[in-house]
Structures are given as structure tokens and as C-alpha cells.
Amino acid sequence: MNWQETIHEKLARLRAELARVQDQLIDAETELADQMADIRAFEAEFEARVGVLMTQLANLEAEVNDYLDRIKQRRNESIFGSQYRSADEQYRRTWQQPPQPATPPPLPPPSADEQAQLKKLYRKLARRFHPDLAVNEADRLYRTERMSGINDAYAARSLTELLVFAAEMETARAEPAEAQPGQTESDMVQALEKEIRRCQRRIREIDLEMQNVHNHSSVELALERKMAQRNGRDLLAEIVADLERKIARKTVERDMIKSQFDELNRGKEIPRRDT
């Protein structure tokens, strides 16, 4: 009788320990998701404010180079004939990839209130659908599919999608944990201990992932931005202003070279440009 009571007590203790470790795991997973979502939000803002200008500058530079090539081609044609094609021109016609269509600008980042609501809802959904809380393989597959969608929605800062999962959560019922057929109490002890070790191992893996987040290409710039904000500076605004100056200068250069090309097309020789 005492042996049975000891086993029951051990099972109760392991179940409580597993619940505690699972809560730690969900908190760790949520913190990692927060970090990655913050990085992606910064990247989206960077693309919206800076990326489009970088693309505009690159397009202007390409236009300048194209006009210079066309001016060179016109001069060569006047010397060698209209069928003349330089080696560079032949290579470009053969191998140059067509321009890629512009990607649509990202959505603006959520407000502080929306951000808080997103995090609160994500934690609630993670505690309901996290695969590590599955009671059997079928439940794990169901949770894995749902959690993947939840992670994608959270990374995209889509409150609408998270609310859809929340509505599903209200109608879905969690299956109670049951012993497997033929499973003894000793087997249950071993299964609980194994699951606790697995959750602890995953927590350690997440800790390493959190450390590696700082190696992400955008993190350094995001940290520089925070430091600048403490000094009353808007780093992205400074980058934007610098790009706008470069775009203005490059636009003037493009217009001048285009004017030279137009003059050449009208049959007027223009001075050679040193490159």
C-alpha cells in the first residue's frame, strides 16, 4: 500500500514539475518570438523608409550607366557602322537579367496598443496550441499545424489572423491526458521524466537561439537606432536625408547625360566623358 502511495505521490510531483517546465518553455518560446517579430518589424520599417530610396538610387545609377553605354554605342556606330556591337553590349544583351518587378511596400508597424494586444493574444494562443502540450501524436500534429500559422501571423503582426485562431481556440477543447493502453505507473513515471528532460533541453536550445539573435544582420542597426534615440536623433531619418541628397545629385547627373544623348540623337557631336 505504501509503495502504491509513493508511486502516486511521485506521479503527482512529476506532473506538477512537467506543468511548470512547460510554462517555462512557452514563456521562452514567446520571448524568442517577440525578439524575432521585433526584428522583422524593424526590417519592415527600414524597407518602407530606406529600402525604397535605396532602390530608387540604384535605378538612377542604372539609368546613368545605360545612357553612357548608349552614347558610347552611338559613337561606335558613327565610326564602324550601324551594325556594330561592342563586346560589352553583346554580353549584356545575352546575359543581363530582366529587371525584377518592384515589391509592394510593407505595411506600417502596429501602434503601441496594438503591439501589446498582439503579445497578449500570442501568449494566450501559445498556451493553448503549443505542440509540447500535446497528449498524443494526433494532438501534436494538430497543435504543430496551428502553432505554425500562429507564429507566421505574429511575425507578420497580423492581429486579424490571430483573432481567427483565438475564435477557434474558444470552440476547440483540449484533450485530457490519458495513460496509454497497457502502460504501468512505472511507465508513466519514465514518460513524464523523459518529457521533462525534453522540455528542459528545448529551453536550453531557445537560450542559445536568443543569444544568436544578436548576430542577426538587422540587430546592430536597430541597436544603433535606439542609442541615437536616447541622444534625440532619428537614425533612419538621417539615413533617409543622406539618400535623398544622393538621389538629387544622381538625378541631375542622369538628366545631364540624357540631354547629351538626346543631342547625339539629333546629330550633334558631344564631348567625350571620362569614366
Cα radius of gyration (the chain): 31
Q: Domain ranges in the chain?
A: 2-92+109-174+192-265
Q: What count of other Cβ atoms lies within 10 Å of the Cβ of residue 28? A: 19
Contact 133, 22 (CB under 8 A): yes
Length of the chain, in residues: 275
Q: How far apart are the C-alpha atoms of 35 and 122, rounded to whole Å?
A: 13
Question: How high is the pLDDT of residue 270?
Answer: 47
Q: How far apart are the C-alpha atoms of 145 and 165, rounded to whole Å?
A: 12
Question: How high is the pLDDT of residue 3?
Answer: 52
Contact 200, 23 (CB under 8 A): no
Q: What count of other Cβ atoms lies within 10 Å of the Cβ of residue 195? A: 16
Q: Check residues 20 and 6 and name the one with the higher pLDDT.
A: 20
Question: How high is the pLDDT of residue 2?
Answer: 47
CA angle, residues 183, 185, 187, in degrees to nearest 5 = 55
Q: Inform me whether the pLDDT recorded for 11 exceeds 80.
A: yes
Question: How high is the pLDDT of residue 249?
Answer: 96
Q: Inform me whether the pLDDT recorded for 84 exceeds 80.
A: no
Is the entire prediction scored with pTM above 0.95? no
Q: Inform me whether the pLDDT recorded for 16 exceeds 90.
A: yes
Q: What would the pLDDT profile of 203-214 be if each residue is shown by its tens digit?
A: 999 999 988 887
Contact 260, 270 (CB under 8 A): yes
Burial 236-256 (b: 16+ CB within 10 A, else e): beebeeebeebbeebeeebee
Residue 180 banded pLDDT, cuts 50, 70, 90: low
Q: What would the pLDDT profile of 253-262 be if each residue is shown by its tens digit?
A: 999 999 988 8
What mean pLDDT is predicted for residues 32-46?
86
Q: What is the mean pLDDT of the chain?
A: 81
Q: Is 165 helix (H, G, I), strand (E, B) or coil?
A: helix
